[in-house]
Amino acid sequence: MGFSSRRPALAIAAAVGLVLSAAACGTDDSGGKSTADCGAYEQYEGHDGTSVEIYSSIREIEDERLQQSWEEFEECTGIDIEHEGSGEFEAQLPVRVDGGNAPDIAFIPQPGLIQRFAASGKAKPVSADTKTMAEANYTADWLRYGSVDGTLYGAPLGSNVKSFVWYSPTMFAEKGWQVPKSWDELLKLSDTIAADGTKPWCVGIESGDATGWPMTDWVEDMVLRVASPEVYDQWVNHEIAFNDPRIAESLDQAGRILKNEKYVNGGFGGVKSISTTSFQEAGVPITQGKCALHRQASFYANQWPENTKVAEDGDVFAFYFPAVDPSKGEPVLGGGEFVVAFADRPEVQAVQTYLASGLHANSRAKIGDWVSANKELDTANVANPIDRLSVEILQNPQTVFRFDASDVMPASVGAGTFWRGMVDWVNGNDTKGVLDGIESSWPK
Amino acid sequence: MNFDLARESDKLLMLLYGLIAFVVVVGGLILLLEVVPSWLEKRRIARRRPGKRTEGRLALFFLLPALLMVGIGLVVPAVRTTGLSFMDAGSDSWVGLANYHWMFAQDDIRRVLLNTMTWVVLVPLSATVIGLLYAVLVDRARFESIAKSLIFMPMAISFVGASIIWKFVYAFRGEGEEQIGLLNQIVMTFGGEPRQWLLDPPLNTLLLIVIMVWIQAGFAMVILSAAIKAIPGDIVEAARLDGVNAWQMFARVTLPSIRPALIVVVVTISIATLKVFDIVRTSTNGHYDTSVIANEMYLHAFPYGETGKGSALAVFLFVLVIPIVIYQIRNLRQQREG
């Protein structure tokens, strides 16, 4: 019968498959194990055979790199880290936590969300070990965003710097333009470029269900510069109203670029094209010479078309979004995720401590495309020029770091009316009306 | 990535468990349905009593699963949501009517209510009128089935799919670039300027309504066409002998005859429209003043973590649907009696 004669063939095929895959595993393992020096992991040992579940918004290639970064840790300690990345992380995490199905650890990019879990008692404060490690490796500026009422709930992991303006070094060299050092110089440069016949700025804030967020970054950067980091803190914590005159002034200053038909939107049209241009595409006209300046975070490095050289002497690079008055210090806006635990098993705390260590920061940085504010991070391990610049800025003791306000505010504002308000604002609504609207939506 | 049997083995195992569970559950159900009624029957025969009581028990036995499901899936969540709507964001303390007050006091939520109203008025009306006209026009035409499939086809497309298709119709590209949007191309052919259709209220809401009408008109057409075909031939013939013109035939014969079908269509589309979510979320995400209740409900309940406000919106939506459902049930009853 045909059936019985086909069977051995199947079995052979399966066996070959198994052997092949085993061989593939074998090469991987021997590469890791023979070189691994487990001495560095001594303090995390003693949890062999346990597993820790991590949930985050990190997916695809970034997910693979992350898993690679803790491979050695897993081998040496015997703790199995299971990472799951989800595109619906922000909406799903509360559902999982409230439903009693919380992950052991979540990488939470919103301090606002940490506050929510801390208030409900679902998040666990970090262990003494993690706290010591975090305090040694991160500045107080960073740690307070992972803390609620003075209790640390999570150390930072990855970070990004948002106060960047992308430009083309080759275009600047050709035209003889200089990287501006102050807000006034930036406006002057914009005028020069506009006079040259190109719209200087390209902006895009469309981002699916998060449409509007790039514009909130703009405004936050302006509040830090036009007002001050202190006013920024009060604004974030709602100690001053959202529609405070100093915030209105900052928004109006941003409007000098964003609502100026002469300045925007290079390669896409007029001011109204901003809200429908996707943030991924928004900077690309720089490579086509259709615009010259694009304010966006360090992670925009991954959005350039293939074969675009991102370097100080390359096709594109970024400069620090200049301060209004550089003599008062240089504020930096940024973001990052925090390693928050929902369980206090010792292996979970060991992973938490490890992720706050320089050991992990350097291991992850070596794999590429990563920035962290970890002080132990050796810039020599950061290959990408824009990442290195970001790390240098974050590690600079002069830097006044502030976390992305929209991630700290309550989600109904930070991920709701603030985003929406900015879309309305750029589409022609006036500053006062928009700010009044957001203020009235602040949860009481 | 290579397919790695060893790595995937736990998934395959999961699949196997699933299959076994399926067989056990289905087999168990069949067994239960076989055993229980026959056991009750045996008991009835053994006790030699007339079967009224056991019949009641049998009915209860068959109703129980449905009641359980409706209870778990509908009644309990509805009661809980109503409770939550009187609580604060974290569902920790009672806040009375604050969430409902917020709903009507907040400018942008009032806008949302207004938008939903626009949807509920326009969609059932336009979809039914278009479906009815189409059904009457193609009735007994030469290519009736082809013509009907053409307008029915959008029904088979999901709301998200339809929204993406229409996003291309409304698409806009920057000045100097080639327009890829059908609507802008048409406008340009007549010498107009291309524009961003989904940006300006209230036009954008109307354009989104077009998507819903596009999907629902097919549904209306099919039901109404079937109803028209079911009009008894003798009535039509009698009317013809009396010398009616086309309009009189439509208004005095067709329309009254298909009234029950018409009500079903309007009610069904109205309820679907009240719940509209996918189209708005896919096309504009509720930006540019296009949001509707269901979208706002999702945003508040999940991403914003404002459970109280989200629940209040859900309850409000529920309250809006109730009169329509009651009307529908009353109609059905009247028909059955009459």
Residue B243's SS3 state is coil
pLDDT of residue B239: 92
pLDDT of residue B180: 86
- Check CB contact of B90 with chain A, cutoff 8 Å: yes
Mean local confidence (pLDDT), A143-152: 94
**A417 and B108: CB-CB below 8 Å?**
yes
Domain ranges of chain B: 5-84, 103-337
Mean pLDDT is lowest, of A16-25, A126-135, B71-80, for A16-25
Scanning B157-176 for CB atoms below 8 A from A yields 172, 174-175
Q: How confident is the model at residue B6 (pLDDT cuts 50, 70, 90)?
A: low
Here the tokens at position B193 are: 């300027």
What is the C-alpha separation between A356 and A376, in angstroms, rounded? 10
CA distance B267 to chain A (A): 31
Scanning B298-337 for CB atoms below 8 A from A yields 299-300, 302-306, 309
Q: How many residues are present in chain A?
A: 444
What is the C-alpha separation between A87 and A107, in angstroms, rounded? 13
**A208 and B285: CB-CB below 8 Å?**
yes
pLDDT at A409 exceeding the cut of 60: yes
Here the tokens at position A156 are: 């930072």
pLDDT of residue B272: 92
Max mean pLDDT range (A24-33, A255-264, A391-400, B282-291): A255-264
Mean local confidence (pLDDT), B185-192: 88
- Tell me: the pLDDT tens digits for B195-245? 888 888 889 999 999 999 999 999 999 999 999 999 999 999 999 999 999
pLDDT of residue B192: 84
- Counted across chains A and B, CB pairs separated by less than 8 A come out at 83
User: Where do the H-state alpha helices sit in chain B?
Assistant: 5-47, 52-70, 76-84, 98-105, 107-138, 144-152, 159-169, 182-189, 203-229, 233-241, 246-248, 255-257, 259-274, 278-283, 293-301, 307-337
What is the C-alpha separation between A406 and A36, in angstroms, rounded? 41
What is the C-alpha separation between A223 and A102, in angstroms, rounded? 36
B123-127 long-range contacts (CB < 8 A, ≥24 apart) are B123/B209, B123/B212, B123/B213, B123/B216, B123/B269, B123/B270, B123/B273, B123/B276, B124/B216, B124/B265, B124/B266, B124/B269, B124/B270, B124/B273, B126/B209, B126/B213, B126/B217, B127/B212, B127/B213, B127/B216, B127/B217, B127/B219, B127/B220, B127/B269
pLDDT, chain A, mean: 88
pLDDT, chain B, mean: 88
pLDDT of residue A27: 40
pLDDT at A153 exceeding the cut of 90: yes
Other Cβ atoms closer than 10 A to A142: 23
Instruction: Please compute, for residue A368, the number of CA atoms within 13 A of its CA located in the half-sphere on the CB side.
Output: 7
pLDDT of residue B49: 61
Confidence check on the interface: ipTM exceeds 0.90, yes or no: no
**Which residues of chain B make contact with A60, given a CB cutoff of 8 A?**
none
Supply φ then ψ for residue A165, to 5 degrees.
-115, 120
Task: Please name the member of B6, B199, B300 whose beta carbon is closest to the beta carbon of A21.
Answer: B6
Residue type, A153: Y
What is the C-alpha separation between B44 and B255, in angstroms, rounded? 53
CA distance B288 to chain A (A): 7
Contact A402, A224 (CB under 8 A): yes
Share of chain A above pLDDT 90, in %: 67
Q: How confident is the model at residue A17 (pLDDT cuts 50, 70, 90)?
A: very low
- Check CB contact of A216 with chain B, cutoff 8 Å: no
Contact A262, A271 (CB under 8 A): no
For chain B, the straight-line distance linking the first and the last C-alpha, in angstroms and rounded, comes to 66
Instruction: Please compute, for residue A312, the number of CA atoms within 13 A of its CA located in the half-sphere on the CB side.
Output: 7
Instruction: Give the domains, in start order, of chain A with CATH numbers.
Output: 46-161+334-397 (3.40.190.10), 164-320+409-441 (3.40.190.10)
What is the C-alpha separation between A407 and A411, in angstroms, rounded? 7
Task: Please name the member of B108, B199, B303 whose beta carbon is closest to the beta carbon of A415.
Answer: B303
pLDDT at B332 exceeding the cut of 90: no
Share of chain A above pLDDT 70, in %: 92
What is the C-alpha separation between A68 and A363, in angstroms, rounded? 9
- Check CB contact of A195 with chain B, cutoff 8 Å: no
- Tell me: the pLDDT tens digits for A364-395? 999 988 999 999 999 999 988 999 999 999 98
What is the C-alpha separation between A326 and A336, in angstroms, rounded? 25
**B106 and A91: CB-CB below 8 Å?**
no
Residue A334's SS3 state is strand
pLDDT at A25 exceeding the cut of 90: no
Here the tokens at position B111 are: 């806008």
pLDDT of residue A143: 93
pLDDT of residue A124: 95
Write the DSSP symbol of residue B250.
Answer: I
pLDDT at A1 exceeding the cut of 50: no
Q: How confident is the model at residue B29 (pLDDT cuts 50, 70, 90)?
A: confident
Pick the CATH number of B103-337 from 1.10.3720.10, 3.40.50.620, 1.10.260.40, 3.40.50.720: 1.10.3720.10
Quote the pTM value: 0.81
pLDDT at B33 exceeding the cut of 90: no
**Which residues of chain A make contact with B287, given a CB cutoff of 8 A?**
211-212, 275, 420, 423
What is the C-alpha separation between B196 and B179, in angstroms, rounded? 11
Residue A162's SS3 state is coil
- Tell me: the pLDDT tens digits for A116-144? 899 889 999 999 999 999 999 999 889 99
Contact B310, B100 (CB under 8 A): no
**A209 and B3: CB-CB below 8 Å?**
no
**B196 and A272: CB-CB below 8 Å?**
yes
- Check CB contact of B7 with chain A, cutoff 8 Å: yes
